């Protein structure tokens, strides 16, 4: 028996990275899946998930587009009957100190990461409210909990997603709907690779790995496993929680004492 047997999950950002890994883990546990993304893809984790799940609708849609989101979700609900679990994983990186970031870039990051989370959740919640049952998981970030140099728009968007998650948990708790966030640390995905490809950022990557207490980047499946827990009935008393999955990045700092103690 799978942990997601009988459940229908919609994953945004399903074509890549964490979203695709979530789709695969949910399908491996017997769940039906549907995906939304601006880019189309048929291989990798998403392709493997589709091969397991069978009928897995995929809609090419921008999460910032309210009408597009509405019609895509209507079609998915028509095909699969309902949506029990929503994973909001569509997201973009971007930032710079506040005087360096353009208005367009500020809007792009806030709109995809925050407005997109709201728009998709708003559309899916209607059916969940009717059935008085549902489960939403927003992929936030450790950068929504603490600052990061040059983070600005990205950190602001993820901090807002965490607060939105808590508000949704309050608003819908009595309606049988759980809402949680997962806050990944630094995870090996195309989004992170794109950031580290920027000139001069290779050394930053090494310092981030050093600041991660487990001494490595995370894998998408390690985030998907946390999402799977929250999406499953094993987390039946968990709502309004922002779960950090970061290899110890936010645990604290090492200043050389570990080395003195022979622990490095």
Ligand X SMILES: NC(=O)c1ccc[n+]([C@@H]2O[C@H](COP(=O)([O-])OP(=O)(O)OC[C@H]3O[C@@H](n4cnc5c(N)ncnc54)[C@H](O)[C@@H]3O)[C@@H](O)[C@H]2O)c1
Nearest distance, CB of residue 230 and ligand X, angstroms: 14
Nearer to ligand X among residue 129 and residue 221 (C-beta): 221
Nearest distance, CB of residue 133 and ligand X, angstroms: 25
Q: Which residues bind ligand X (CB under 6 A)?
A: 12-13, 15-19, 36-39, 62-64, 89-92, 112, 116, 139, 141, 184, 186-187, 189-192
The answer to whether the beta carbons of residues 57 and 81 sit under 8 Å apart is no
- Report phi then psi at 85, rounded to 5: -130, 130
Sign of CA pseudo-dihedral 248, 251, 256, 257: negative
Nearer to ligand X among residue 133 and residue 250 (C-beta): 250
Nearer to ligand X among residue 60 and residue 131 (C-beta): 60
Active-site residue, selected from the candidate residues 46, 58, 106, 154? 154
Strands 32-37 and 134-139, by their bridges, are: unpaired
Nearest distance, CB of residue 142 and ligand X, angstroms: 7
The answer to whether the beta carbons of residues 243 and 182 sit under 8 Å apart is yes
Give the span between the Cα atoms of 151 and 174, in whole angstroms: 36
Is-catalytic flag, 154? yes
Angle between helices 44-53 and 17-28 (to 10 degrees): 20
Active site residues: 154
């Amino acid at each position: 028996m799978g942990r997601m047997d009988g459940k229908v999950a919609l994953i945004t950002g399903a074509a890549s990275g964490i979203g695709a890994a979530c789709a695969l883990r949910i399908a491996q546990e017997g769940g039906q899946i549907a995906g939304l993304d601006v880019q189309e893809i048929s291989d990798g984790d998403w392709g493997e998930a589709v091969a397991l799940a069978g009928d897995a609708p995929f809609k090419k849609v921008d999460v910032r587009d309210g009408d597009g989101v509405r019609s895509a979700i209507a079609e998915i609900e028509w095909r699969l009957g309902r949506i029990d679990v929503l994973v909001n994983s569509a997201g973009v990186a971007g930032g710079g100190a506040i005087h360096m970031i353009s208005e367009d870039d500020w809007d792009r990051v806030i709109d995809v990461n925050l407005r997109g989370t709201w728009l998709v959740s708003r559309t899916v919640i209607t059916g969940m409210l009717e059935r008085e049952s549902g489960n939403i998981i927003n992929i936030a970030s450790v950068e929504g909990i603490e600052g990061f140099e040059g983070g600005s728009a990205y950190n602001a968007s993820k901090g807002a997603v965490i607060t939105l998650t808590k508000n949704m948990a309050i608003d819908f708790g009595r309606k049988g709907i759980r809402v949680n966030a997962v806050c990944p640390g630094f995870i090996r995905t195309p989004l992170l690779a794109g950031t580290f490809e920027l000139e001069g950022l290779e050394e930053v990557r090494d310092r981030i790995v050093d600041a991660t207490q487990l001494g490595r980047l995370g894998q998408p499946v390690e985030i998907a496993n946390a999402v799977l827990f929250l999406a499953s009935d094993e987390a039946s008393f968990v709502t309004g929680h922002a779960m950090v999955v970061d290899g110890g990045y936010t645990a604290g700092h090492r200043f050389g004492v570990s080395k003195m103690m022979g622990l490095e």
